[in-house]
């Protein structure tokens, strides 16, 4: 089954902010490489999104949240089985807990 992957505005902002940080520290090429890899990783969630773990702080939320690790970041997402979609909620540094 193929799932539609939807990236929410907060997640897009998270990605843009970290890419801007990479840009300021390392330049354009590394920032673009990180962003391209991030979006490629996100797209893999269109198939078998259940393969990744439920986040440890999941009990604090009303919906089931999972994460995919991409380098030092966690891609936090929710699967909506009723419409075959995956919603990317946030992109956090892995040292942080989801708030």
* Whole-number pLDDT of residue 59: 75
Provide the CATH number for the domain around residue 62: 3.30.2310.20
Domain span holding position 84: 4-93
In a domain, 63, yes or no: yes
In a domain, 98, yes or no: no
Answer yes or no: is pLDDT of 5 > 90. Answer: yes
Cβ neighbours for 93, distance < 8 A, ≥ 6 positions apart? 18, 72, 73, 74
> pLDDT for 41-75, tens place per residue?
999 999 999 999 998 876 778 899 999 999 999 99
DSSP E strands, the chain:
4-7, 66-70, 73-80, 85-93
* Whole-number pLDDT of residue 57: 78
* Whole-number pLDDT of residue 81: 95
Per the structure, the count of domains in the chain is: 1
Contact (Cβ atoms closer than 8 angstroms) between residue 37 and residue 73: no
Contact (Cβ atoms closer than 8 angstroms) between residue 88 and residue 73: no
**Mean pLDDT for all residues in the chain:** 92
């Amino acid at each position: 089954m193929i799932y539609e992957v939807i990236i929410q505005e907060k997640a897009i902002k998270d990605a843009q902010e970290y890419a801007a940080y990479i840009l300021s520290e390392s330049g354009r090429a590394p920032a673009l490489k990180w962003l391209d890899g991030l979006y490629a990783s996100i797209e893999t969630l269109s198939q078998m999104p259940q393969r990744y773990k439920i986040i440890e702080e999941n009990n604090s939320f009303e919906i089931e949240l999972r994460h995919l690790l991409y380098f030092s970041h966690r891609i936090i997402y929710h699967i909506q089985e009723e419409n075959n979609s995956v919603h990317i909620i946030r992109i956090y540094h892995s040292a942080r807990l989801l708030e």
